[in-house]
Structure 1
Amino acid sequence: MTTIKSDMVRARIEPELKERAEAVLERLGMSTADAIRIFLTQVALRQAFPLELTLPEAARLPETEQ
């Protein structure tokens, strides 16, 4: 039998955010560890951040004229 090696990942998360996210993940049938594993797998496969990051409209800087 082979033993799977694993590393521990620790992050500080606001308790309310963690609870809200865990509630969604539970409904999807996965744990927080599953979600993190999927995220990191996608980063490694794509060699990029797997989500498009944009600011909400209200937080965007005004466009400058050139």
Structure 2
Amino acid sequence: MATVAVELGQADGGLELAGSSTVVVQPGDTLWSIAGEVAPEEDRRAVVDALVDANDLDAVELVPGQVLQLP
């Protein structure tokens, strides 16, 4: 499970995470689970979309060790 401590803030109506700028994917992690960890108070669908956009992901399959940029 990826562990990231962040603070949330809104800027220009979009999701913005302040704190750690990356997360390393661990075995069993999904975009959904990472979204819940990095932004537990936010709508996970919006966080997943922001993660996909920030990392130019074409697929939702993640690879352990992969480094994702946080939006």
- TM-score of the aligned structures, taking structure 2 as reference length: 0.26
Determine which structure has the larger strand proportion and give its number.
2
- Say which one has the larger Rg: 1
- TM-score of the aligned structures, taking structure 1 as reference length: 0.27
Q: Whose RCO is larger (CA < 8 A, sep 6+)?
A: 2
